[in-house]
Structure 1
Amino acid sequence: MTTVATGRFNDLTVVRRGRAGFYVDGGDDGEILILPQHTPADCHVGDTLSLFIFVDADGRLVATPRAPLAQVGEVGWLRVVSLSPVGAFLDWGMPKDLLLPHGEQRFPPEAGKHVLAMVFRDARGRVAASTRLDDFIRDEAEDLRAGDEVTLVMADRTALGFKAVVNHRFWGLLYSSDLPRPLRLGERVTGYVRRVREDGRLDLSLTPVGMVRLEGAAADVLARLQQAGGVMPLGDKSSPEAIRAATGLSKNAFRQAIGMLYRQRLITLSPHEIRLPDA
């Protein structure tokens, strides 16, 4: 017999249908009810389902196929629903709100505002939240290398750009000069490892690194040029702001892209213009 992982998705088998609804085998935790309002219409005894397990308002384990905003081991941008003597309660997308205990608060939260919080299990196995991210997120990354695709959550604006949580485990940095668009605190996006520094810290990018990135940017510039009738008023001397507004690329990425297109004889260049050869 096994124990289900509370606060995470589990693959569980439907064992019976009762008055309240369908039940799955929770191993050592016994049978667990799938919330009737969330039960798939085509649910049958014998099916194996991927279900999120959490404790309801009555202290019982229940299951749902719906995903929370963050599960155990993940950070999420969660709204503060209310404040109480035991802490703050956060909306994590489940019927029962998630407790952010006073001892896990890096700063006093405000009702109605959002906080970036790690979902974790405390010493007693209860699922809770913490805004003390440095207790969970490390500066030195492991098992990552340049070019790897990663999940990023925007954590803080800095003088250099955005500090981001990488794969819910490590800190990394996105430089302002490499941002193709504005970002929001708490936004979750797909990113890439641009560089692993000697100290193990990560520099990040929102576009693939190396030739894959250049080919993607070059293809995008070529498509925009074709849509514009073969001529765009952008070139090596154009301002970074004009380039970003027209293409979504940094000036450095744009220069590399048009350089690749020029070497393939797909465009002609002038300081303030790119053009298809027959335009």
Structure 2
Amino acid sequence: MVEIGQFNNLTIDKMVDFGAFLDGGRYGRILLPKRYLPEGKQVGDTLRVFIYLDSEDQLIATTETPKLVRGACAWLKVTDVNRYGAFLDWGLPKDLLVPFKEQNKPMELGRSYVVTLYLDNQERLVASSRLSRHIPETSRYLKPQQPVSLLVCGRTELGYKVVIEGNCLGLLFRDDAFKPLKYGQQVKGYIKDVRPDGKVNVSLQLPPIQQREQLTEQIIANLRANGGHSPLTDSSAPDDIYHVYSVSKKTYKKAIGQLYKERRIDIGEDGITLLDNAR
């Protein structure tokens, strides 16, 4: 069955001068324009295509990858605002509409917003910045300490609202975010806990003991992969440390302090060095 707003594996049903028609099941034949048709393809071959609606609201296929698929979230820029709503650049020829009623606050030309993609009651693909209308705020599948990708979608008095793995809303408490975050920023994180009501809290770091154990082995692996030396010390910039290990400077300092006590590394002014007994 064809899923609009998603990638589908469809079979070429007919070749024409301007492309190919794909078997869309109950939707009939769906055009794949010639510019997207890979060379050498024939009737009966299967292609992975994204299905959306063109400017005439007809189903059309493309082998290009949009910035957003149905049910997920992305940070997209407004290219136009008119009487119908705001239009976003999502990487396809036809910009994506956000109706006024689906805007959390009035969207402005040139600004970017976190939105989700859904099918309206007329089977049209539209976007919404009112995420809680379309994205669940609970999960039965996420587990404590599970690594996840996070997209910052708002702020509260408690901290930051985030989209977890593109399909669930959660909360990152201010105390669990060791650095300022920006709206639309993507970061790595971990599930902190899942409340009895199913709502999810996240953290940018694992619990201290487990994180330190994991981090020390990451540092050793990094040293081995780089000739036994790293320029990152306890005086390095926090952003440089986070770029490599996704942890705070405080956590990194404790980890290399532990490795130094265990005589696995030496700490110098120009960085840390792996000792022979740890190679």
CA drift at 1:95: 0.8
Contact 1:179 1:250 in 2 (8 A): no
Cα–Cα, structure 1 residues 209 and 67, in superposed 2: closer, same or farther, change >3 Å?
farther
Describe how 1:160-239 pairs up with structure 2 within 5 A.
Answer: 161-175=159-173, 183-206=181-204, 213-222=211-220, 223=222, 226-228=228-230, 234=234
Structure 1 vs Structure 2: percent identity of aligned residues? 35
Contact 2:30 2:60 in 1 (8 A): yes
CA distance in 1, matches of 2:123, 2:206: 39
Q: What's the secondary structure of 1:28's corresponding residue? A: helix
Q: Give 2:113's match in structure 1, choosing from 108, 112, 115.
A: 115
The worse-fitting range, judged by mean Cα deviation, of 32-41 and 197-206 is 197-206
The worse-fitting range, judged by mean Cα deviation, of 88-97 and 177-186 is 177-186
Which letter does structure 2 place at the counterpart of 1:244?
A: P
Contact 2:22 2:30 in 1 (8 A): yes
- Deviation string for 1:96-115 (max 9, x for gaps)? 11111121122111111112
Q: Give 2:87's match in structure 1, choosing from 86, 89, 110.
A: 89
CA distance in 2, matches of 1:49, 1:209: 45
CA distance in 2, matches of 1:260, 1:42: 59
Contact 1:180 1:244 in 2 (8 A): no
The worse-fitting range, judged by mean Cα deviation, of 169-178 and 146-155 is 169-178
| 2:60 is aligned with 1:58 | no
CA drift at 1:172: 2.1
**What TM-score do the two structures reach when normalised by structure 2?**
0.79
Q: Give 2:44's match in structure 1, choosing from 43, 46, 55.
A: 46
CA drift at 1:164: 0.9
Q: Give 2:33's match in structure 1, choosing from 27, 32, 35.
A: 35
CA distance in 1, matches of 2:24, 2:233: 63
| 2:245 is aligned with 1:247 | no
CA drift at 1:54: 0.8
1:147 equivalent in structure 2? 145
Which letter does structure 2 place at the counterpart of 1:79?
A: K
CA distance in 2, matches of 1:243, 1:5: 47
CA drift at 1:12: 0.7
Contact 2:87 2:96 in 1 (8 A): yes
CA drift at 1:211: 7.5
Cα–Cα, structure 1 residues 111 and 274, in superposed 2: closer, same or farther, change >3 Å?
closer
Cα–Cα, structure 1 residues 53 and 91, in superposed 2: closer, same or farther, change >3 Å?
same
Cα–Cα, structure 1 residues 221 and 98, in superposed 2: closer, same or farther, change >3 Å?
same
| 2:81 is aligned with 1:79 | no
Which residues of structure 2 form unaligned runs of 5+? none
CA distance in 1, matches of 2:63, 2:210: 36
Cα–Cα, structure 1 residues 213 and 36, in superposed 2: closer, same or farther, change >3 Å?
farther
Contact 1:268 1:274 in 2 (8 A): yes
CA drift at 1:158: 4.8
Which residues of structure 1 form unaligned runs of 5+? none
- Deviation string for 1:174-196 (max 9, x for gaps)? 35565577654223455431322
CA distance in 2, matches of 1:41, 1:182: 48
The worse-fitting range, judged by mean Cα deviation, of 174-183 and 143-152 is 174-183
Contact 2:229 2:273 in 1 (8 A): no
CA distance in 1, matches of 2:40, 2:211: 43
CA drift at 1:85: 1.3
CA distance in 1, matches of 2:233, 2:70: 50
Cα–Cα, structure 1 residues 16 and 209, in superposed 2: closer, same or farther, change >3 Å?
farther
CA drift at 1:67: 1.6
- Report how many residues are paired: 267
Cα–Cα, structure 1 residues 256 and 139, in superposed 2: closer, same or farther, change >3 Å?
farther
CA distance in 1, matches of 2:9, 2:207: 35
Which letter does structure 1 place at the counterpart of 2:33?
A: L
CA RMSD in angstroms comes to 3.4
- Deviation string for 1:96-155 (max 9, x for gaps)? 111111211221111111121111111122111111112123333321111323332221
**What TM-score do the two structures reach when normalised by structure 1?**
0.79
Q: What's the secondary structure of 1:217's corresponding residue? A: helix
Which letter does structure 1 place at the counterpart of 2:96?
A: L
